[in-house]
Amino acid sequence: MLEAARFPRHARKDDHRNFGGHAGHHVATRFSSEPEVDDRGVRRSLLQQRDGLRSRVGGHHLEVAAPQQMRERLAHALFIFDDEHERAAASHARGIGNGRGTLNQTVRLGYGKPGAHVAAPLCMGQRWLTGVGATLGLVSAFGLWMTSSAHVGTSPPGRDPEKPGQWRFTGPDAEALRHDALQRAIVRIDDSPDRLSLASDLTNSEHAADGTIPECRFFNDAPSGTTPKFHCVFPNGDTVKVKYGRNSEIHAEAAATRLVRSLGFAADEVTIVPRLRCYGCPRLPFETMTMLELVGLRQQLGRYGHDEGYTDFEWVSVERRFPAPAIKTDSKEGWAWWELETSTARRADLDALRLLAAFLEHWDNKSENQRLVCLDGEQHETNQHCNKPLAMIQDLGATFGPHKVNLAMWRHTPIWADAHACRVNVRTLPYQGATFPEIQISEEGREQLARRLAMLSDADIRSLFADARFPQFYSATPDERDLDAWVEAFRARVDQIVGAGPCPPGTSQRPIPNS
């Protein structure tokens, strides 16, 4: 960098007027790695540009720089000026001749003397603009890549999506109607204790027996939550939720829902498929919809996404909702575990469900993650009475450990808060129990779940975790060893339930206050 020699302010009688130095003071051109400001208030200044620049340092005369050479050197220099007069003079001097080298940027130095300014050369601004432009270009390119489909292809014809039914209560009586439905709701849909199988019963359109890739159409709706997911419509009109990416919730939900259904309780059908072809899908659907929603452009994508494109997703979970309309009010949906206190369902079924939630460590149990449905079918009139309400767990992704699919924590966390008194809670898990209060389990409920879990063979349990791809989630360890460990942990937790009891008789459904 070229800089002008420094000289003290007190030697300059023509300060702010004459841009040249005081008599007897000369300026030498030299190169320096960085500008400096000394503690005595010594400043740098630029002399007027003349036909030549004669300099002297320590009594030695140096070569005179021609105006053109000086102009080229000044284009790469960084100067510090005392005030605006000097800065203006320097700008004028630097622009003499052909107008090149205009000083276009000044920054006040926090470490210099008051009033000092830095004049940045034009090349620095150009480099900054170039960097910003390159960054914006990369961001734009990634955005286009993310929002576009991976392949070109036309979607096959199909039916419009079937909307999930709702059983809505409105008006001043809405909350009373909802409370009545929850109070009468059953929790078990299969009472046969003689047969228990963990074989998958999903034979719907997302399973292709001949090995072909199942196909669906992207459905553009508002994103929710934080897990990458999207809705997709199969040719028959069935709408499913697809979760993708490396996410422990995918594996946990596939295993938990399958176990809950096999034990006779209601749950959504969730399975993992090797590949799914989504017509109209961006490469990253959830991220794309979230970004477009933020800027108010989601509807610009179209109802079914891109018209001439598709994206293949590998090892995704496909979720099909339990076929019953959800009961909702204008202000509430779902139910909290503490609301079961007044339930008239069979106590054994209620306690078996509570104990199963503790067994799985279902810790994200806010009201929205449980669902109240009506088995009557479609609602035909406002505030219609539901004859057959059912309470079920809706979202089982936060299970098998406090951090979802956490073998060590799931294996070592006890089910019982007090095994002798048959008390359970999930206060040691995230959210300190959330809506799940500490409660005493009846002997009938403990015995029901213990008997059904004990019916499962090691092969059943192994299939449960293998089909949900638990070993693949822990890719750094051998799959067989992982499966053995999960089966062992499952058996150990079953033993905790079987080995407890008999539970005290005459237990109450009222939650136990925190001690």
Residues 368 and 289 placed together within one structural domain of the fold: yes
- Same-domain check for residues 116 and 180: no
Domain membership of residue 444 (yes or no) is yes
Average per-residue pLDDT for the chain? 78
Whether 214 maps to a domain, the answer reads yes
Chain centre to alpha carbon of residue 254: 20
Is 6 or 169 the better-scoring residue by pLDDT?
169
Coil vs helix vs strand at 362: coil
429 near 361, Cβ under 8 Å?
yes
The torsion angles phi and psi of 221, rounded to 5 degrees, stand at: -135, 170
Peptide bond into 502 cis (omega under 30): yes
**pLDDT value of residue 328:** 94
Residue whose tokens read 């963990």: 198
Q: What is the DSSP string of 398-454?
A: S-SSTTSS-HHHHHHS-SEEETTTTEE--TTSGGGGTT---EEPPHHHHHHHHHHHH
What is the separation, in whole angstroms, between the first and last Cα of the chain? 73
**CB contact at 8 A, 320 and 204:** yes
pTM greater than 0.85: no
Residues 117 and 238 in one domain: no
Shared domain check, 121 and 170? no
Backbone angles phi, psi at 253, to 5 degrees: -70, -35
Average pLDDT over every residue of 197-218: 63
Q: Which pLDDT score, from 0 to 100, does residue 275 have?
A: 96
Do β-strands 166-169 and 326-329 pair in parallel, antiparallel, or remain unpaired? parallel
Task: Give the separation between CA 507 and CA 514, rounded to whole angstroms.
Answer: 17
Per the structure block, which two tokens stand in for 278? 């989504």
Confirm whether 177 is domain-assigned: yes
Of the candidates 438, 414, 413, 435, the one whose C-alpha atom is nearest the C-alpha of residue 425 is: 438
pLDDT the model gives residue 137: 81
pLDDT at res. 454 = 94
Whether residue 176 sits in one domain with residue 61 = no
The three-state (H, E, C) secondary structure of 200-233, written as one string:
CCCCCCCCCCCCCCCEEEEECCCCCCCCCEEEEE
Q: If DSSP codes are grouped into helix, strand and coil, which group holds residue 372?
A: strand
Q: Assess contact for 158 and 233: CB atoms under 8 A.
A: yes
331 has pLDDT over 60: yes
d(CA 513, CA 366): 19
Element (DSSP H or E) covering residue 314: strand 310-320
Query: Which of 159-163, 165-169, 260-264, 462-466 shows the lowest per-residue confidence on average (mean pLDDT)?
Result: 159-163
Q: Tell me, yes or no, whether 114 and 219 share the same domain.
A: no
Contact partners, residue 440, CB within 8 Å, separation at least 6: 421, 422, 423, 503, 504, 507, 508, 512
78 has pLDDT over 90: no
DSSP state of 42: -
- Report d(CA 448, CA 503) in Å as an integer: 12
User: Sign of the C-alpha dihedral, residues 303, 306, 312, 314?
Assistant: negative
Give the range of the structural domain holding residue 50, as residue numbers without chain letter: 2-125
Q: Kindly state the DSSP code that residue 476 receives in the 8-state scheme.
A: T
Instruction: Give a yes or no: residue 371 inside a domain.
Output: yes
Helices in 316-403 by DSSP H: which ranges? 347-360
**pLDDT of 241:** 96
Find the range with the poorest average confidence among 190-204, 264-278, 420-434: 190-204
Percent of the chain residues past pLDDT 90, beyond the cut: 51
How far is residue 114's CA from residue 125's CA, in Å, rounded to a whole number? 25
Q: Does some domain include residue 144?
A: no
**Torsion angle, alpha carbons of 461, 466, 472, 474, to 10:** 10
- Confidence class for position 188, pLDDT limits 50, 70, 90: very high
Q: Specify if 328 maps to a domain.
A: yes
pLDDT tens string 219-267: 999 998 889 999 999 999 999 999 999 999 999 999 999 999 999 999 9
Both tokens of 407, joined, read: 């073998």
Same-domain status, 433 and 483:
yes
Give me the mean pLDDT over the 452-464 stretch: 95
Q: For residue range 37-65, list pLDDT tens digits in order.
A: 444 443 444 444 444 444 443 444 444 44
Which structure tokens are listed for 320? 């099909």
Rg (CA), the chain: 37
Q: Quick one: 172 and 83 in the same domain? A: no
Q: Checking phi first, is residue 467 left (phi over 0); if not, alpha (psi -120 to 50) or beta?
A: alpha
Q: Please count the CA atoms within 13 angstroms of the CA of 355 that sit on its side-chain side.
A: 33
- DSSP 3-state assignment of 303? coil
> Which tens digits make up the pLDDT trace of 89-112?
555 544 444 444 444 444 443 444
Backbone CA torsion sign across 286, 291, 293, 298: negative
In a shared domain, residues 392 and 308: yes
Sheet with 389-393, edge to edge strand ranges: 166-169, 326-329, 370-374, 389-393
Q: Say how far apart CA 334 and CA 367 lie, in whole Å.
A: 5
- Specify the higher pLDDT residue, 115 or 488: 488
Alpha-carbon dihedral angle through residues 360, 363, 365, 366, given to the nearest 10 degrees: -170
State how far the Cα of 507 lies from the Cα of 423, in Å rounded to an integer. 10
* Mean pLDDT across 459-475: 91
Residue 172, pLDDT score? 95
Is 443 in the same domain as 374?
yes
Q: Residue 90 in contact with residue 46, Cβ under 8 Å? A: yes
Query: Position 207: which residue type?
Result: H
CB 43 within 8 A of CB 37: yes
Residue with the larger pLDDT of the pair 121 and 327 = 327
- What pLDDT digit, counting tens, does each position of 297-321 carry? 888 888 888 888 999 999 999 999 9
CA nearest neighbour of 287 among 153, 154, 145, 135: 145
Place 211 in a pLDDT band, splitting at 50, 70 and 90. low
Cβ atoms of residues 334 and 368 within 8 Å: yes
Residues 229 and 377 both lie in one domain: yes
Give me the number of domains the chain comprises. Answer: 2
- Report CA dihedral (493, 499, 500, 506) to the nearest 10 degrees: 120
pLDDT bracket for residue 192 (50, 70, 90): low
Evaluate whether residue 510 is within a structural domain.
no
Asked whether residue 92 falls in the same domain as residue 176, the answer is no
**Which DSSP category does 509 fall into?**
S
Q: Is residue 301 part of a domain?
A: yes
Domain termination residue (choose one: 125, 149, 175): 125
